[in-house]
Amino acid sequence: MFKPDKVQQQIVSGIREFVERKVIPVASLLEHEDEYPREIIEEMKEFGLFGCNVPEEYGGLGLSYTTFAMIVEELSRGWMSIVGPIGTHSVICDIINRFGTDEQKREFLPGLANGERRGGLALSEADAGTDVQRISTIATRKGDDYVINGSKMWITNGRYGNTFVLAAKTDAKADPPYKGISAFIIEKGGAGFKVGRDIDKLGYRGVETCELFFDNFPVPAKNLIGRSEGEGFKQIMTGLESERINVAARGIGLAQAAFEDAIHYSQLRYTFDKPICEHQTIQNMLAEMGTKIEAARLLVYSAADKKDRGERCDLEVGMAKLFATETAQEVALQALRIHGGAGYSKDHRVERYYRDAPLLVIGGGTNELQRLIIARGLIAKHRVK
């Protein structure tokens, strides 16, 4: 049985208290209005949550992947959207911390840790999501700068963020194409960087997901991560491993919230002279929901622990992401069914969980991609000599 240590228990109980008091009472209202949860995010900033995975020497909390996953689970239990501002933010902290030069770490990590800098990952494009090698944004060296041309799609924190890790081709003819991808730290403010529309989404509302446009946008060459061209694909893919743990943890939190609402409702709603939780069909649903959530939690914390130990864990992280997010989607639907007609109304939270869950099977690399990664890993592990 996975058991959090004392410090982790304290952190989780502090976050839980904050979520119960400040998030749950307003989440559905803000979500329906598609309103940015400014006050909640400010409070998260005060807690230091923007610096969860930034080392203490740069002003962060220096928490493990496992502890961060616990925080994400608790926040997501209240409202998945509030993880958005610290989610890809933490991915870019991870990338800069692992691959940045000392100068880049000193320049960017303190501001990211205290939340003055709000980060995002500018990777996907209208014509390139799963197939990252197809990106067509170009970075051309001009003197002490690179000049960026192209556009990005689906960028979380695009409007309220100010610092991004951007993937661009520095060699469009490289073979294989991933060898031509480089990663840059870019900042808003200069001419040639425009934020387009906020995409109107099914769920994950309240936080913005935007298009970004670059027209001869200059980036100082010193912002090329690690100061070497052609390393961007590897750097970003490594960062996405931490994103998968955080997406999986969002899945557990969302599923837990849906389960709690369902088991509560099932004891209050009567049909045929008894609460519906006494009908065996409902009991079967509750049993499956509870079992899958517990299994998902164990998988996620086991994968996070492996990453904390510095071991190779792409297979385990892929399994955790796949299972936890498919569980979230299934449990959200079951919770809605247990609520009957009430579940279909906006008076109950389950309709929000049901709309939020599908993002989890898409974000951080789709679950179809996870299955490919898992299968490749398993075949390699069990190769016939």
Ligand X SMILES: Cc1cc2nc3c(=O)[nH]c(=O)nc-3n(C[C@H](O)[C@H](O)[C@H](O)COP(=O)(O)OP(=O)(O)OC[C@H]3O[C@@H](n4cnc5c(N)ncnc54)[C@H](O)[C@@H]3O)c2cc1C
Residue numbers annotated as active site: 243
Q: Per CB under 6 A, does 315 bind ligand X?
A: no
- φ/ψ region of 239 (left if φ > 0, alpha if ψ in -120 to 50, else beta) reads alpha
Q: Is the peptide bond before 55 cis (omega within 30 degrees of 0)?
A: no
Residue 281 to residue 340: CA distance in whole angstroms: 13
With CB under 6 A as the rule, give the number of residues binding ligand X: 23
One residue of 31, 363, 370, 374 binding ligand X per CB under 6 A:
363
Residue 368 binding ligand X, by CB under 6 A = yes
Helix (H) or strand (E) holding 139: strand 138-142
Q: Closest CB to ligand X among 289 and 315?
A: 315
Q: Convert 24-54 into a string of H (helix), E (strand) and C (coil).
A: HHHHHHHHHHCCCCHHHHHHHHHHCHHHCCC
CA dist 21 and 48 (Å) reads 18
Shortest distance (Å) from residue 340 CB to ligand X:
29
Integer Cα distance of 246 and 185 in angstroms: 22
Number of alpha carbons in the 13 Å side-chain half-sphere of residue 199: 16
Shortest distance in whole angstroms from residue 231 CB to ligand X: 18
**CA pair distance 197, 133, nearest whole angstrom:** 25
Counting contacts by CB under 6 A, is residue 359 touching ligand X? yes
Shortest distance in whole angstroms from residue 284 CB to ligand X: 30
- Tell me which stretch binds ligand X (CB under 6 A): 17-25, 31-39, 154-162, 335-343: 154-162
Q: Does 248 bind ligand X (CB under 6 A)?
A: no
Smallest separation (angstroms) from ligand X to the CB of 155 = 5
Residue closer to ligand X by CB (options 51, 120) is 120
Q: What angle do CA 271, 274, 277 make, to 5 degrees?
A: 90
Query: Among residues 101, 149, 302, 366, which is the contact residue for ligand X, using CB under 6 A?
Result: 366
Indicate whether 130 belongs to the interface with ligand X (CB under 6 A).
yes
Strand runs labelled E in 241-289: 270-271, 274-275
Residue among 100, 111, 120, 226 that touches ligand X (CB under 6 A): 120
Residue 369 binds ligand X, judged by CB under 6 A = yes
Q: Which of 40, 41, 93, 123 binds ligand X (CB under 6 A)?
A: 123
- Residues binding ligand X (CB under 6 A): 88, 120-124, 129-131, 154-156, 201, 204, 209, 359, 362-363, 365-366, 368-369, 372
